[in-house]
Amino acid sequence: MPLITPMTGEVTLPVQASAAAAFDLVSDVTRIGEFSPETFEARWSRGSTGPAVGAFFKGHVKRNGVGPTYWTGCRVTACSPPTAAEPGVFEFAVGTDDTTINNWGYRIESTGEGSCAVTEYFRLEAGLLTKAYWLVLGRLRTRTNQRGMRTTLEAMKEVLEK
């Protein structure tokens, strides 16, 4: 087993709902508090009112579900609804205007009429501080992120399949 695990991770769940419906849900950041174990609310900011590349929002996070609690700035970096030929992608960078710390996203692929696969993923930027953090806490944080992504996707799946 390598000393440093990759600074990425993802979880995929099958969903009995259209890819378009899944994309609409994952790209509505104002609903994340219904699903995430760490981000309990989010709101569009800086004049942004909905999902589009370059749109800004703030997420209110309770780290590991217990604290500390803080607001974090986010900027949408990819926003393309699914088509018959291409999966949908909704991705955002977390950090400041000058520094991206982490990237989170969703990929939605149609798997047949009325069903899709929804993948949530994260990718940390490869800066020196991030590498040091990942060396010390990477395995633990990967497990935490994997559990959180599964919890988020299962809650979204429940809403989408109603």
Lowest average pLDDT, out of 56-70, 83-97, 103-117, goes to: 56-70
Q: Count the domains in the chain.
A: 1
What is the mean predicted confidence (pLDDT) over 125-144? 71
Residue 91 domain flag:
yes
CATH code of the domain in which 40 resides: 3.30.530.20
pLDDT tens figures, 24-38: 999 999 999 999 999
pLDDT at residue 56, as a whole number: 98
Residue 78 domain flag:
yes
Q: Whose CA is closest to 27, among 146, 110, 107, 117?
A: 107
What is the mean predicted confidence (pLDDT) over 118-123? 96
Residue 125 domain flag:
yes
Residue 149, CA distances (Å) to 31, 50, 55 in order: 15, 22, 23
What is the mean predicted confidence (pLDDT) over 31-47? 96
What percent of the chain is predicted at pLDDT more than 70? 89
pLDDT at residue 25, as a whole number: 98
Residues 6+ apart with CB under 8 A from 154: 13
By three-state DSSP, how is residue 86 classified?
A: coil
Residue 21 domain flag:
yes
What is the mean predicted confidence (pLDDT) over 42-66? 94
Residue 1 domain flag:
no
Residue 103: CB atoms within 10 A of its CB come to: 19
Q: Which residue has the higher pLDDT, 74 or 113?
A: 74
Inform me whether the pLDDT recorded for 88 exceeds 90. Answer: yes
pLDDT at residue 1, as a whole number: 44
Residue 146 domain flag:
yes
pLDDT at residue 57, as a whole number: 98
Domain around 135: 8-160
pLDDT at residue 66, as a whole number: 76
Residue 3 domain flag:
no
Confidence of residue 122 (pLDDT cuts 50, 70, 90): very high
